[in-house]
Structure 1
Amino acid sequence: MKYLESAPQYALRYLSSAWKRRFSKVSGQPKFKKKGRDDSFTLDGSISVGFNHIKLPRIGWVKTFEILPDNVTPKSVTISRKADRWFVSFALRLSFHKY
């Protein structure tokens, strides 16, 4: 059930940073959006990367169009929907090996 915990946590983090920006007078008050307009959610934790596949919690293996290198570890994945198509964006951690 850990995968259910990360999506609401990111929503609360984004809301917290929006209110901090508001009270420090960097930006205006956050605008709450209608459900279904900006469909996206962020996952972190148990994400596995294959050759051109990524394993997401609860969803399973998802094929990607780009080949992912072996020396990357995803920190988080944001899944968004635009025009009835789903897109995946990664925040990656690179690991370099000294020879």
Structure 2
Amino acid sequence: MVIDGKRRIMRLTLGALAELEAELGEGSLVDLVQRFEGGRYCARDVLALVVAGLRGGGWRGDAADLRCAEIEGGPLAAAQAAATLLARAFATPGPE
């Protein structure tokens, strides 16, 4: 994801997932996955996921920083990145 002209790494580590659960405050990560799969997510879900993913990738900002940032591709790109991040975090690995 490119934020303010700089490419950023996003990953949902265990710590990032714990922060995401705390940020959402209600429901579960399974509920969040179901909302994204059903297209019923909101901007707050996208923001929380992107922040968690960025923090898992080593970024030290927070949601307030991201609210003011320029995201390449805009809100749609952010939502797509969030959905991809979530799908990868819960994908079942294939046989080795």
TM-score (normalizing by structure 2): 0.26
Higher relative contact order (CA 8 A, sep 6+): 2
Structure with the higher fraction of residues in strand conformation: 1
TM-score (normalizing by structure 1): 0.25
| CA radius of gyration, larger in | 1
